[in-house]
Each structure stands twice: as structure tokens, then as C-alpha cells.
Structure 1
Amino acid sequence: MKVRVESSKIVKPLYDDVAAAPACITGGESVPLSVFDRVTYDVYMAVIYAFRPPSPPNAALEVGLAKALAVYREWAGELADDDERPAVVLNDRGALFVEATVSAPLAAVMPFKPSPELLRLHPSTAGGRGVGDELVRVQLTRFSCGSLVIGFTSHHRVADGQAAGNFLVAWGLASRRLPVAPLPVCDRATRFPPREPPLVQFPHRETEYYAPKKKKKNHDADADEHDGELATAAHDKIKVHKVHFTKEFVSGVKARASSSSPSRREYSTFESVVGHLWRAVTAARGLAAGETTTTLRISVNGRTRMRPPVPRDYFGNLVLWAFPRCPAGELVSRPVHHAAELIHRAVVPVDDAYFRSFIDFASSGAVEGEGLVSTADEGQVVLCPDVEVDSWLGIDFYDLDFGSGGPCYFTPSYLPMEGTIFLVPSFLGDGGIEAYVSLFESHLDEFKKICYTY
């Protein structure tokens, strides 16, 4: 697939309606990042949409983007170059807007396979920190048949998946000349004050943060270069595999997990499917015979867990993690209900008390004073024996509509980080689930053999 870039420009917010964006315009020249923004991954994330013709011209989408940026003004700023006081600078820098073409029909490359070719369909996510860079980068790629592919990249420290999905829906509404509703809740600087006195009830030094090991005196630049070479070599051996679980398969896994549970608990779709995938990945890695413990990192959205609940339209990050653990041999040898139960027991306690405890700890000065760093490490290439799962099943990614209906395809971009799993609703609309699983190529054949067996 040869992608030809036709133009590249900066799109700035278009304030043609003062009432359109009252929340994000106020608050001074910058907005401090919340404790949840600071603990998350310091990286750009990318998603890709495909739309069949007809679709609006690029000019209409450009105007819609400008109007949406006026409502979500933080996306049009940039991150401050200050590690002690991280913030979004409200300077209306704008978003990168790239126009490209492919001299072939979309059918020639659909459905997209997880591969480095996907990286050509959105602007580069290199750079990571977002300091001095556009926080939103968009690419519109027109195919010869008239189909449109949109690659959207956004900086994770500004907003999580839920907030990014809300922005995309707003972009579609603005492009159709409709008012953006509901408006985003842009109060990250004041919404999460620590309690007085603080009450830290959980071991956050061992979950969201950790103390990095000090480098030995003889650890020099050559050693750093060697570590980088090993990471690159590992990266080249990692592949991303897409698994399609039909509605019937998902129902079967859920029924198997729930019916065989000694507690007679009815497990959720998420608990059942993730439990199944955790077991399959662990078995495919060949860890079942050893004494290794495997840990599953699960993103937990705090919007519905905090009390009072945080509005769904809150703009920012509001995610912490649950960490179920199990000896690999035990995980694989026992039925899927065991994995689902471990997940259930780990996720349930990440409640309002846990989120409040984290706020108090992260606001206490301990992170800075002790030199702690986030366990959300975007520099990791290999997670084995551990697994990380991000579920986008409840995010409105498929609600993006520029006037001709929703997308015919949606996918996360290519992210070869061994041990990561992304869950999204199936683009087939059959009630199924797509799982994007990153593994070493040497483990993929075994995973493919067992991933449909429960």
C-alpha cells in the first residue's frame, strides 16, 4: 500500500460561537495535569477508521475539526516543558492535519491486518512527550474508490480512551454543523483535591508507582546502547495477531466460566473473555510447567466507580489498574472460571476508596520526594510473563459520523508490545469481539491453536 502525502497543515480552533466552549477556555494560560494524567502512559495513541463513500470533502472535516478544538481547547495546546509542574498550555497551537491519497481501492487492503503498514495511515506517534508538539494529529487518506480512512493520534496524558472517543463524536457533530452536546467537563485542575487529613489506605508504591533501581557506577553509555539493541531485536520478533470471537463464542466462554464456578457467580463478558485470553497467552508462552507467576494489568475506568460518579463526559484521564496474579501452571491447569474469579476479585476493590486513596498519595509529595516513577512504562517492549489488557468495549468509537453514517471499520494502530491485548467491538456488527494480541512470533502458532478452545 503506497500512501502519498498531498498536504500538511496546522488547524487552529475556530471560535465562531462563544457559547460553544465555555469550560475549556477559562482557567488561565495553562491547565495543570491531574494526578491521573501524570501516572498514565506518556505516549501518543492511534486509532484508524474507514468510511465507505460518499463522505464529506476534506475541507468540511477540517472546519469541523477546528470547531471541535474550540470546544476541547486542551487538545489544541501543548504540554509544558516542566516535569515539576506538568500542565497543558492553552496557546491554541492547533492540531496537525495531513491529507493523503492511495491509488488503489480500499477493498484491495481490507480488512486491515495488524502490520507496520497501518503506521502509514496516521501521522507519526514518535516523540512521546508532546512537549512543543501538536497533541492531536490527524490524517485523511482518500482511496481511488472514494473511500476515506482517518488516522487519529492523540496524546495519552491529555485524555484517556473514553475522553478521546467523546472528542471524535464531537468532531463528527461539528463537521455536520450540529452543536456539540453534551459539552466536555473540563475541570481536571480542581476535581480531585486530596482529603484533609489525607487517608492513604493502599500500597500505591507497589502498584501505580515503584522506586527504580539505581544504576551501578560502571553502567555507562555503552550499556544503555546494548540494552537498546536488545529491545530492538526483541521488537522485530513481536507480531500482532487479531482474533475474532463471535457472539456465540463469547456467550460460550461466559457460560462455561459461570456454570463451573464453585461460587455460582455469573461472570461478566469482560471477566470471562479476558480470563480465557490470559490462560491462552500463558499456555502459548510455554510457562505452564514452571514456577513463574504471571500478573495481569487491567485498566479500570473511575468515572462510574467514584462517589459521586464522575460525568461520562469528563475530559482527561481517570484510569487506575487492577493486578490479578497467579502461578502460571495453576492458571493454565484450572478451568476458565478460576481466571475469571481472580479478575473479579482484583477489579472490584478498585472502588471509590481506592481512587481517593490514590489521590491522597499522589498529592502528598511522596512521588517526587522518593523519586518514584509510574509503572505505566511505555518504554517496555516485552511484558512476559505478564499481560496487559485495555478494553475499548464501552467506548463510543463507532458513533463517529460525518454525515454518511458510521465507519465500516475501526482498529487500533499497530503496537507490537509483547503481552498487550486490546479489546474492541467487532466491526462486523455481529455482537462479537476483536482481540488484538501481541506475542513473540515463536509463540503465535500455539496461541492460534488454542485461542478458540475453552
Structure 2
Amino acid sequence: MISYSGHYKPLLAVQVTELADAIFIGCTINHAVTDGTSFWNFFNAFAEICRGGKNISKQPDFTRNFFQNSQAILRFPDGTPKVTFDVNAPLKERIFSFSRESILKLKSRANYVAKKHSDNSIELLGKQSNDDWLMEKENNNGNGNGNIVSVLENWLRNAVSRNQESEIVETIDPMAQISSFQSLCAQLWKSVTRARKLPSTKPTTFRMAVNCRHRIEPSVGPLYFGNAIQSIPTVASAGEVLSRDLHWCADLLHRNVLAHDDAKVRQGVENFEKNPRVFPLGNFDGGVITM
């Protein structure tokens, strides 16, 4: 991975703040060097040493041959990678906090599907009202029209009742389980798209970082130290995102993550080796969200 800020900013910075009765340690690492998994493995090892540990219990894995010892040489024009964004553009930061209870509710909503009852009353009414034998029998009893009206009344009553009720069915396929993170992403996708007031036909893109360790064959160990993530885009029009429910958006993200397999990971690496560039962050076309 290439980092623009890594050319002039430290790749690792640690700040220690002395308090009255303790110390506070802050640490940041350039994302081109490590991903979240490697960062926490490093920080836990750092804490273990600070507690007086002689050896690191979980040794980092610096193996680099899981792509069959790629000999690719990244050649940049004029000695620098291609920058595809405005480095002087102002950055805006917003911090949102979600309670554990709120996230659990989102996950519950995302993993439940509203299954509406099918209504065959229209077909039934049509058959009965045009059944010559039934009409003749009812007319002989002197109340043919009354029975047809009764059928219509019952159908209307049942239709209203069924429209007001829905059966909630829980997904039981383990592979269909939508995660808390995907549920939260789906909610953000819907909320941000609504706030942007985009035309219904405007394509929107939600980018998520996925851990590639277990997607590669053979898989990479959890203690691999480095950056083993890729950013994958999920695309839907603004109209689809806003008109569909939370489950639809979360399921779209979930299925895209499941589909990111060994072949797609390797294809992404191959494409980058052929055309290395600085990955553009932000909202360059008005409809992008990056997590």
C-alpha cells in the first residue's frame, strides 16, 4: 500500500502524557504499514513489554511470501506515485457515537426480514363472481347478490387486516448473518444519502475495508504483521438506498463482502502492481462513503 502522507510524516508516533496518578499513552501508525489487526497486536505486545514481560507471547509473523514471492517492481512516473486527489482540499471531521444497545437493535433489524402474507382473495373473488353454476345456485336461493357482496366484504376485511400485519422471519443460514459493523454501515449509507438529497438515479458507492487474511488460499495467519486489507465498493442508486429497508442495504454489503474471495484479492493486487496509485479517499463524485 502507498501512503501520500507517509512521505513527510512519521510512520509511527507515540505520545506519553503524565497524569497526577498515572500515565496516558497514545499511539498512531500509518495505515500503509499496518491494518487494524496488526495495530492491536503491536499495541498488546507493547503493553506486555511495559508490564515487565521478557518475551512476547504472540510473536508477529513477518512472512511476505503468501503471494508466491511476487517479484513485482513498482515503477512510478518521475519517481513518485500518481496522486488522484486534491492534496490541499480541506478536510471535515464529524464524530458519531453509537451505544451498544443501538448497534444491537440495528443488527437485529438487519437480520430480520418482513415476509408479507400472499393474498389470493382477488383471484378467489374473480372466480366466484364469474362462476355461472355458483351464480345460478345462489339466484335460485334468492340471495345471489347478497352472497357476492358478502364475499367482497370478507375480502376487503381480510385485505386490510393482512396489510396491517406482517410475519417476522429470522434468517437461519449462518452465512447470511449480517454483522454489527455491516448493520451500522447500512444505516450510515441510508442516513448520509438522505442528507445529501441526491437525485434518485444518482449512483452511490459505499466502500468497506475487508480483512484478506482468511480469504487468501492458503490463508494468512492472524499474527501476520502488515496491511492485509482491501477496500471494496458496493454500488446502488440513491433511490434504491432510500426506498429499500435496512435489511436490503445491509444484505447488499454483506453479500459483497462474502463474494470477495481469493481470486478477487489476487486480482486487486495484480491490478495495483500494473498501475500503482495513491488511493483516493473522500467524496470525489458526490456519492461516496468510505468506512
> Above 0.5 in TM-score?
yes
One-letter code of the match for 1:387?
I
The equivalent residue for 2:24 is 149
Flag the structure with more relative contact order, 1 or 2, with Cα contacts below 8 A and sequence separation at least 6: 2
- Does 1:257 pair with 2:110? yes
| Distance in 2 of aligned mates of 1:146 and 1:383 | 49
The equivalent residue for 2:98 is 244
The equivalent residue for 1:183 is 59
The residue correspondences of 1:256-335 to structure 2 (distance < 5 A) are 256-260=109-113, 264=171, 265-287=176-198, 289-335=199-245
Structure 2: unaligned runs, 5 residues or longer: 72-81, 116-168
Query: What RMSD, in angstroms, separates the aligned Cα atoms of the two structures?
Result: 3.2
One-letter code of the match for 1:307?
E
The structure 2 residue matched to 1:377, chosen from 276, 280, 286, is 280
The equivalent residue for 1:343 is 253
- Does 1:387 pair with 2:289? yes
Q: Considering fraction of residues, name the structure with more helix.
A: 2
One-letter code of the match for 2:186?
G
Tell me which structure has the larger Cα radius of gyration: 2
Structure-2-length-normalised TM-score:
0.67
| Distance in 2 of aligned mates of 1:261 and 1:212 | 46
| Distance in 2 of aligned mates of 1:184 and 1:266 | 31
Percent of aligned pairs sharing the same letter: 28
| Distance in 1 of aligned mates of 2:13 and 2:83 | 32
TM-superposed deviation, 1:336: 0.4
The residue correspondences of 1:17-416 to structure 2 (distance < 5 A) are 37-38=1-2, 41-43=3-5, 128-129=6-7, 134-143=10-19, 145-178=20-53, 179-188=55-64, 190-193=65-68, 231-232=89-90, 235=91, 238-247=92-101, 249-260=102-113, 264=171, 265-287=176-198, 289-363=199-273, 366-367=274-275, 372-374=276-278, 376-377=279-280, 380=282, 384-389=286-291
Structure 1: unaligned runs, 5 residues or longer: 1-36, 44-127, 197-210, 214-223, 390-454
Structure-1-length-normalised TM-score:
0.44
TM-superposed deviation, 1:351: 1.2
Could you tell me whether the CA contact under 8 Å between 2:234 and 2:253 is conserved in 1? yes
SS at match of 2:98: strand
User: Structure 1 residues 306, 322: closer, same or farther in 2, change over 3 A?
Assistant: same
One-letter code of the match for 1:273?
L
TM-superposed deviation, 1:383: 6.9
TM-superposed deviation, 1:296: 0.6
TM-superposed deviation, 1:135: 2.7
TM-superposed deviation, 1:258: 2.0
| Distance in 1 of aligned mates of 2:262 and 2:114 | 28
| Distance in 2 of aligned mates of 1:345 and 1:134 | 37
The equivalent residue for 1:430 is none
Instruction: Tell me the alpha carbon deviations over residues 397-440 of structure 1, each in whole angstroms, 9 at most, x when there is no partner.
Output: xxxxxxxxxxxxxxxxxxxxxxxxxxxxxxxxxxxxxxxxxxxx
Q: Considering fraction of residues, name the structure with more strand.
A: 1
User: Structure 1 residues 278, 139: closer, same or farther in 2, change over 3 A?
Assistant: same
| Distance in 1 of aligned mates of 2:288 and 2:111 | 25
Could you tell me whether the CA contact under 8 Å between 1:185 and 1:315 is conserved in 2? yes
| Distance in 2 of aligned mates of 1:152 and 1:253 | 31
| Distance in 2 of aligned mates of 1:195 and 1:138 | 33
TM-superposed deviation, 1:180: 0.6
| Distance in 1 of aligned mates of 2:193 and 2:182 | 16
One-letter code of the match for 2:289?
V
Could you tell me whether the CA contact under 8 Å between 1:300 and 1:322 is conserved in 2? yes
TM-superposed deviation, 1:250: 2.2
Could you tell me whether the CA contact under 8 Å between 2:193 and 2:287 is conserved in 1? yes
